[in-house]
Amino acid sequence: MIIDHDDFHAIEQGKVIPSEQQAPFNEIEQNIENLLEGFAAKGLVNNNFHALVTNFGKLLFSFIASDAQIAEVDSWHQQGTAQFGGFLMADGGGPSIQQWNTIFTKDGDMLELDVDKVWIIEGHRLDYGSISAASTQKLYPSSVLVPPDEFKKLTKTAVGMPFLDGTLQLGNVSGKVRVAKTNLLTSGGLASTSVFLSKVRPRFVRALMGHVQWLQNNERIELSVEQLSAVKQLEAIAKRYCHSLVERKPSLPVALAIKFVSNRILLDLVISGAVKQPMIQRDLMAFTRMEGSSYRCLFEIYSKTKVR
């Protein structure tokens, strides 16, 4: 897949900003980089998936939450009020916001929130969460921080079989809660989500390509020379993206293209017979849906670049 984009060609050719000219990563991004170091020897097992997603969540929260909201969440952890938090996006009503069942309405200084979220990472174990909800007054979703005392009123159930050798479970979350209007997460504006995704998607691809190498190293899959080469090349391109765009505005089309290629590589591993175990096949196919399905990547690339 070739994207006619200056940044993509620069990354592909290895033209990166010299390290001495790069702005440093913030603390959360550096934690993610540290976790991704030598990922082929770690894989997504042994809590590495959860550690990665936790840091992704912290990065998103740093974009959309105010200092006061961040301090409030920190206080829940320090006081032992809550341990697990999450971001609840996938909706029981459907993929389009016009179909969502999760809707909030304003009642003075309070928000009434109907929740119907599905396939949430460890959703059945969450103590609090940021819930993406629709309203009749906006054409785009808003994020609402639901604290532990209200979140415990929601019904939380595990759904489906676990992934990654039984270490990753999804859950559904539903019910009604009432929170203060100040719990809206509005600090970053509409652009913050795009910037976040442009930073996270290539790092998730690096983790996926590292996990595939971990599977190969542990003789759980059998890659051809060409397949292993493709995995390593994409990992290298994604890493160069992360390090070359530290100083400049991240490119969402390039991040989408990288995730699209990752999806195609994982699909090829399954349909070619390189992956024999059904549960590993299921893991890899599930990851083609997380942080951008192939359809979604192509749709957004088209929308943002007006490719004809």
Question: Cβ neighbours of residue 23 under 8 Å, at least 6 residues apart?
Answer: 246, 247
**Sign of dihedral through CA atoms 124, 167, 160, 94?**
positive
Packed helices 225-244 and 191-217: angle between N→C axes, nearest 10 degrees: 150
Note every long-range contact of 12-19, with CB atoms under 8 Å and residues 24 or more positions apart, other chains counting. Answer: 12/237, 14/240, 15/244, 16/240, 16/243, 16/244, 17/243, 17/244, 17/246, 17/247, 17/248
pLDDT score at 248:
54
pLDDT score at 308:
46
Alpha-carbon span 191 to 184, nearest angstrom: 16
Task: Going residue by residue through the chain, which has 308 residues, state the pLDDT in tens, using 9 for 90 and above.
Answer: 444 555 555 555 555 555 556 667 889 999 999 999 999 999 999 999 999 999 999 999 999 999 999 999 999 999 998 989 999 999 999 988 889 999 999 999 999 999 999 999 999 999 999 999 998 777 788 999 999 999 999 999 999 999 999 999 999 999 999 999 999 998 877 678 888 888 999 999 999 999 999 999 999 999 999 999 999 999 999 998 888 765 555 678 889 999 999 999 999 999 999 999 999 999 999 999 998 898 888 888 888 776 54
pLDDT score at 194:
82
33 phi and psi, to 5 degrees?
-60, -40
pTM to 2 decimals?
A: 0.90
Which is it for strands 128-133 and 142-146: parallel, antiparallel or unpaired? antiparallel
Burial class (CB in 10 A: 0-12, 13-18, 19+), 255: buried
pLDDT score at 3:
47
pLDDT score at 1:
43
